[in-house]
Structure 1
Amino acid sequence: MLLSMTGFGAAQLETDAYTLSIEIKSLNSKSMDLSLRIPRSLSDKELEIRNLVSRSLVRGKVNLNIDLARNKGVGAKNKINSELLKAYYQELEQAAQLLGAQSPDLFRLALQMPEVLQTEAAEEGKTEEVSWETVAPLLQQAIDNLNSFRADEGKALTAEIVSYIDRIRILLAEVDKHDPKRVEQIKQRIQSHLQEISASESFNQNRFEQEMIYYIEKLDIAEEKVRLINHLHYFTETVYLPEPTGKKLGFISQEIGREINTIGSKANDSTIQHLVVEMKEELEKIKEQLNNIL
């Protein structure tokens, strides 16, 4: 079954301390073109990451983003502004004495006053460390999700491409059906001219027969029809192979095109040439879709 080169996969791990997010996007490319964006703490694993992605995804323009974020509040510290606490306490104590009020909770009240208890954020730029043993299975999960996306896209592409191949088969059957009529028309044209040519004094029977054999062989498309139907069968078989077959299908489509072109050039018949044009249209649709096949 065919696989699309286009895909998206993601995976995420949340802990009390951090959130680890991995996203992979893949587009069409003739080879593996991998762009990485990873935390500094994983820089020593870049080669290992590249090998894992390349081995699993084979081809495509791939963007991999591994994001490590500290959860809000982790690492924050509370700090008491002692000078401000002292000032508030003294003011509250003086007010209590002035009013003759009881003051058992002055410290608690002063501690609750604005900006006495301050929260310090974690050091800027500092992120939680994460081990490769944690990242590796999450990365594989994101890759598996992308490949699942590719497989779903590939099912639709498979049905579409096979329908184009089936259409070429139908058109080739029409060519085969019309071919005897074409041959008969050629024979009639030859016979009509034969009487005129044989009446000439310079007519050479042996030379004429040799040239006619060459001419008939040049117009014969039997071998091209056989090769084309074989290429179509081979293409369909290759579509359903388990391994990536995009490049192989590209080569087979070139052979299909070569036989279609030869039939068109040798046919010397308007009906067959119209059928050939339709086959070329279907083949172009196939080639366009093969650009997105792994």
Structure 2
Amino acid sequence: MIKSMTGYGVAEQELPLGKVAVEMRSLNHKYLDISLRLPRGFFTLEPKIRDIVKKGVSRGRVDLTMRIDPSASTVPRYRLEADTRLAEEYIHLLDSIKEKFGLKGEVTLDHIAAVREIVPFLEVKEDTELYWDEIASVTEEALQALDDSRRKEGEALEADLMGRLEQSRRLMEEIKGKTPLVVDAYRERLRERVQALLEGSDFDERRFHQEVAYFAERSDVSEEVIRMESHLRQFESKLAEEGPAGRGLDFILQEMNREVNTIGAKATDIDIAHRVIELKGELERMREQVQNIE
């Protein structure tokens, strides 16, 4: 079953650090391109998170955003730590200023607390490696949701492609059925034209049949029809395969276009020409859809 390159998945989990939410979005891309937005302190986990994404996605652009809601955290985020050496220098400096300028008053705790550098708020740096199993679990859950979304859209793409595949088969059958009639019609038109020009003169039957044979050879599309029918079967088979199929389907469509262009170049019948135009339209719409397939 094919998968689309477009999808969305999200998952959440409670950790001592807070509520962790992982959101994944995927878009069309020629290759696999992973972009990560991680909270501060999680950057050391980036290689491991990339490895998880690579297991589930082989092609497309994947944007992964991880957020933490610290309001649910059971781990203190900050701690206070007094810089006693700085406090001592500060008190000494104030005493020196007071003595030099003859100032009155005492240095109090309020003076010291007013200096943020003496009693700073220090962020507690938690070792995120301790919670890797939980982080990996929520990442895999988001990846599974993304995969489900891509498969669901892939089903819609497959249904559309199958419908266009059947329409292409129908057009090819019509072209195949009309091809023999083209030579017969040309033979009759040529005979009428030559006889009208000769007006009772001798009619060179041998030369006439040579001309018809030359036309039949020049307009023969039987090989192109056979190859086109083979490509259509191969396309359907590729759609049913498990795993990435986008590049293979795109290559098959290129071969289909080559055969249809050859048929169009050889076509002298207006009905065949019209069906070639319709067929080109179907193949172009199929090509647009295939660009969305992983």
Normalised-by-shorter TM-score class: 0.7 to 0.9
Q: Is the 8 A contact 1:16 1:71 kept in 2?
A: no
Per-residue Cα deviation, 1:54-107 (whole angstroms, up to 9, x for no partner): 232111111111223322585389xxxxxxxxxxxxxxxxxxxxxxxxxxxxxx
Question: What stretches of structure 1 of length at least 5 have no aligned partner?
Answer: 78-121
1:226 maps to which residue? 226
| Ranges in structure 2 where 5+ consecutive residues have no aligned partner | 79-119
The corresponding residue for 1:288 is: 288
- Which of the numbers 124, 128, 132 marks the counterpart of 1:130? 128
Distance 1:29 1:44, change over 3 A: same
Deviation at 1:17, TM superposition (A): 4.7
Match of 1:47 in 2: 47
User: d(CA) in 2 for partners of 1:140 and 1:19?
Assistant: 16
Shift of 1:22: 0.8
Q: Structure 1's 73 and 173: CA in aligned 2 closer, same or farther, altered over 3 A?
A: closer
Change (3 A) 1:67 1:195: same
* SS of equivalent residue, structure 2 residue 21: strand
How far, CA to CA, are the matches of 1:180 and 1:212 in structure 2? 13
TM-score (norm 2): 0.75
Change (3 A) 1:49 1:15: closer
Query: 276-285 vs 187-196, which deviates more?
Result: 187-196
How many Å apart are 1:223 and its aligned residue? 1.1
Calculate percent identity across the aligned residue pairs.
Answer: 35
Displacement of 1:253 in angstroms is: 0.5
Instruction: Give the AA of the match of 1:141.
Output: E
For 1:130, the aligned partner's letter is T
* Contact 1:69/1:127, CA 8 A, preserved across alignment: no
Task: Determine whether 1:256 maps to 2:278.
Answer: no
- In 2, the alpha carbon distance for the partners of 1:272 and 1:76 equals 75
How many residues matched? Answer: 250
Name the CA distance, whole Å, in 2 between partners of 1:13 and 1:170.
52
Q: 1:59 matched to which residue of 2? A: 59
**Superposition deviation, residue 46 in structure 1:** 1.8
Paired residue type of 2:25: K
Shift of 1:16: 5.4
Q: Distance in 2 between matches of 1:124 and 1:20?
A: 22
Residues 234 and 45 from structure 1, CA distance in 2 versus in 1: closer, same or farther, beyond 3 angstroms?
same
Q: Deviation digits for residues 228-281 of structure 1, max 9, x if unmatched?
A: 111111100100100110010000011111111111111111010001111111
Seen in structure 2, the aligned counterparts of structure 1 residues 275 and 130 have a Cα distance that, compared at 3 Å, is: same
Match of 2:277 in 1: 277
What is the root-mean-square deviation of aligned Cα atoms in Å?
3.0
Helix, strand or coil: the match of 1:2? coil
Q: Sort the Cα spacing of 1:128 and 1:71 in 2 relative to 1 into closer, same or farther, 3 A.
A: farther
Query: In the TM superposition, what are the counterparts of 1:1-294 in structure 2 within 5 Å?
Result: 1-15=1-15, 17-71=17-71, 75=76, 123=121, 126=124, 128-131=126-129, 132-192=132-192, 213-294=213-294
Please tell me the residue identity of whatever aligns with 1:62.
V
Could you tell me the TM-score, scaled by structure 1's length? 0.75
Whole-Å separation in 2 of the counterparts to 1:26 and 1:283? 26
Distance 1:18 1:128, change over 3 A: farther
Q: Per the alignment, in what secondary structure is the counterpart of residue 242 of structure 1?
A: coil
Match of 1:97 in 2: none
User: Structure 1: how far apart are the matches of 2:122 and 2:145?
Assistant: 34
